[in-house]
Chain A
Amino acid sequence: MGSESLKNQVAIVGVADTEVGVVPQYSATQLYVKAAKLALADAGIKKDEVDGLITCISFVEPYMYHAEMIAEYLQIFPRYCMTAPSGGGTTLAIMHHAASAIATGMCNTVLITMADSQLSGLSRAKAIEAMSGAGHPQFERPYGPPIPAFYALLARAHEHAYGTTAAQRAAVAVACRKHASMNPAAQMRKPLTVADVLNSRMIADPLHLLDCSLVSDGGAAIVMTSAERARDFETKPVYLLGTGEGHSHEHISEARSLTTSAAKEAGERAYAMAGLGPRDIDVAELYDCFTPVVIIELEDLGFCSKGEGGRFVEGGRIELGGELPINTHGGLLSHCHPGHPGSMFSVTEAVRQLRGECGPRQVADAKIALVHAQGGIMSTHCTAIFGSEPV
């Protein structure tokens, strides 16, 4: 199959988010199930019509066969059942797999549900494990890097190579918070200034507290089916135009580059499948676990040239009304970040933008949206391009 194999073949016909942020009234498993029920309701179908199920693993309530556990809980009996083993780029890439499963006839209707309760569900011991469990057990962890430190290494390298500044990174957090302030569902809604970010506590130089994403509870789900079948749904379908992946390393000490990531390959593959380029994108939902990641992604996805990302995010260019609004729900920095499910909220937001349902934070006349996610430490990347119509 060529690079155009999935173009226009698959559509998203249902999306939903649970409450996000501080949600102690639901367990992690209940958040998966709640997101699933809401997405099925949005699609207007019964659970028995689902013949493909994908979940991500839960850190808080793990099961050896997680997707099978959720199927069992829901009492559905899919013919395609898959658990995404980690977060970020992987949870978006699994949608690539779901689209392939639909296009090749493995199944007709895939429910993808992802959730966790990282904020309310963790014991103290589990919280420490969550913080310190990253990195190579023999060659990285003995040096004590918390997760922000891994990304600080990238930020520092980008600063050194291109003169990127703390204020430029802060502009990313400010834009995400501005958008969250227009989103009643977001966890953090009080507007921020660049000075607020720069004055927040230093966590791992040069990253301040407000350069770091949130810790949250929450879940999101989507329903995917063939573009042909999507016409029978009451909701307005949103079409998958292109998707691609890039995988460069597991450990940051093994990265090919600290300043250019495999987002470049993922983006190029997605653009090639869609027959589109960065100039065609109306709205972008970019993985923003830490502010420097957005700057590198903007460069690697071709929205600006390498080294220009810092200047690109200034002057409101990435805010609503700007040249390329990003993270219109508030992103991981301000909407929510329950862990593995993070990128799923970017997908539900992109779909709502293309349906025109976003109210005050609606990007005017949005027809084409790009979602990018990365996982590990800039290790695993996936880009997806969606359209309100086939192209």
Chain B
Amino acid sequence: MAAETAKALPAPTLETRPYWEGCKRHELRIQRCGGCGRYQFYPRIYCAQCFDDRVEWVTASGRATVLSFTIVRRPVSPAFAADVPYVVALVTLDEGPTMMTNIVGCEPERVAIGMRVAVTFEDWNEEISIAKFRPA
């Protein structure tokens, strides 16, 4: 776990704390606009589509589709060296928003654009769990 926290430990803010509290409970939380009904991620004070301020936190289905991916062969920093090769991907949640993640739980070479994936959580410390995705 010490190795994980040396990576890039997120520091939750006033705006993002509900997301990270969700991750801690292994729930993927995104925002839904009470005005237009659309979903958004990352969190914002207003809906970025219609500018309504009635944004509420909801638990996402956790299901997504791989939009693009890469297999990292040269780590970003020494803290990630033990993970090489690892998959960095953009996934489109079934609710609409796109997020960056790692695809885990399969050989990197098996990952493909269009692949269906489901959320899974990696606990980095008592406060921070990271949302990753595995083949669905």
Interface locus among A14-22, A106-114, A152-160 = A152-160
Decide if A138 is an interface residue (CB 8 Å cutoff): yes
Size band of the interface chain B makes with A: 35 or more
> In the assembled complex, how far is the CB of residue B28 from the closest CB belonging to chain A, in whole angstroms?
12
Docked complex Cα distance between A205 and B108 (Å): 10
Docked complex Cα distance between A128 and B78 (Å): 8
Decide if A144 is an interface residue (CB 8 Å cutoff): yes
Among A137, A143, A203, residue most surrounded by chain B Cβ atoms (within 10 Å): A143
Docked complex Cα distance between A142 and B121 (Å): 13
**B130 with A138: CB separation less than 8 A:** no
**A146 with B74: CB separation less than 8 A:** yes
Q: Which listed residue, B88, B99, B101, B132, touches A149 by the CB 8 Å rule?
A: B88
Decide if B86 is an interface residue (CB 8 Å cutoff): yes
Given contacts A132-B77, A137-B8, A142-B10, contact A253 B99 (CB under 8 A): yes
**A160 with B68: CB separation less than 8 A:** yes
Q: Which residues 257-291 of A sit at the B interface, judged by CB distance below 8 A?
A: 258
> In the assembled complex, how far is the CB of residue B115 from the closest CB belonging to chain A, in whole angstroms?
12
**A138 with B11: CB separation less than 8 A:** yes
Q: Which residues 150-189 of A sit at the B interface, judged by CB distance below 8 A?
A: 152-154, 156-157, 160
**B88 with A145: CB separation less than 8 A:** yes
Binary per-residue interface labels of chain B (37-74) against chain A in the complex, 1 for a CB within 8 Å, 0 otherwise: 00001100000000000000000000000011111111
Size band of the interface chain A makes with B: 35 or more
Given contacts A131-B77, A156-B113, A254-B98, contact A142 B8 (CB under 8 A): yes
Decide if B16 is an interface residue (CB 8 Å cutoff): yes
**A145 with B100: CB separation less than 8 A:** yes
Label chain B's interface by main secondary structure.
mixed
User: Across the interface, which residues of A come within 8 angstroms of B70, CB to CB?
Assistant: 145, 149, 152-153, 156, 204-207
User: Across the interface, which residues of B come within 8 angstroms of A143, CB to CB?
Assistant: 88, 100-102, 130, 132
Docked complex Cα distance between A204 and B89 (Å): 12
Q: Which residue of B lies closest to A205 (CB)?
A: B71
Decide if A136 is an interface residue (CB 8 Å cutoff): yes
**A202 with B98: CB separation less than 8 A:** no
**A142 with B130: CB separation less than 8 A:** yes
**A153 with B8: CB separation less than 8 A:** no
Decide if A201 is an interface residue (CB 8 Å cutoff): yes
Decide if A141 is an interface residue (CB 8 Å cutoff): yes
**B73 with A160: CB separation less than 8 A:** no
User: Across the interface, which residues of B come within 8 angstroms of A202, CB to CB?
Assistant: 71, 73
Q: Which residues 1-53 of B sit at the A interface, judged by CB distance below 8 A?
A: 7-13, 16, 20, 41-42
Docked complex Cα distance between A339 and B23 (Å): 36
Docked complex Cα distance between A350 and B15 (Å): 46
Docked complex Cα distance between A160 and B65 (Å): 14
User: Across the interface, which residues of B come within 8 angstroms of A207, CB to CB?
Assistant: 70
Decide if B94 is an interface residue (CB 8 Å cutoff): no
Q: Which residue of A lies closest to B13 (CB)?
A: A138
**B100 with A253: CB separation less than 8 A:** yes
Docked complex Cα distance between A132 and B130 (Å): 18
User: Across the interface, which residues of A come within 8 angstroms of B74, CB to CB?
Assistant: 146, 148, 201, 203-204
**B98 with A132: CB separation less than 8 A:** no
**B67 with A258: CB separation less than 8 A:** yes
**B7 with A142: CB separation less than 8 A:** yes
**A136 with B73: CB separation less than 8 A:** no
**B90 with A146: CB separation less than 8 A:** no
**A146 with B76: CB separation less than 8 A:** yes
Query: In the complex, given contacts A137-B10, A204-B74, what are 11 additional A-B residue pairs having Cβ atoms less than 8 angstroms apart?
Result: A131-B77, A137-B11, A138-B42, A139-B42, A143-B130, A144-B83, A149-B72, A202-B71, A203-B74, A204-B70, A204-B72
A-B contact list, 18 entries, CB within 8 Å: A131-B77, A132-B76, A136-B42, A138-B10, A139-B41, A139-B99, A142-B9, A144-B88, A146-B76, A153-B69, A201-B74, A202-B71, A203-B74, A204-B72, A204-B88, A206-B70, A253-B90, A258-B68
Please list the residues of chain A having a beta carbon within 8 angstroms of any beta carbon in chain B: 128, 131-132, 135-146, 148-149, 152-154, 156-157, 160, 201-207, 251-254, 258
Q: Which 5 A-B pairs have the closest CB atoms?
A: A152-B70, A141-B8, A146-B76, A138-B10, A205-B71
Please list the residues of chain B having a beta carbon within 8 angstroms of any beta carbon in chain A: 7-13, 16, 20, 41-42, 67-78, 80, 83, 86, 88-90, 98-102, 113, 124, 130, 132
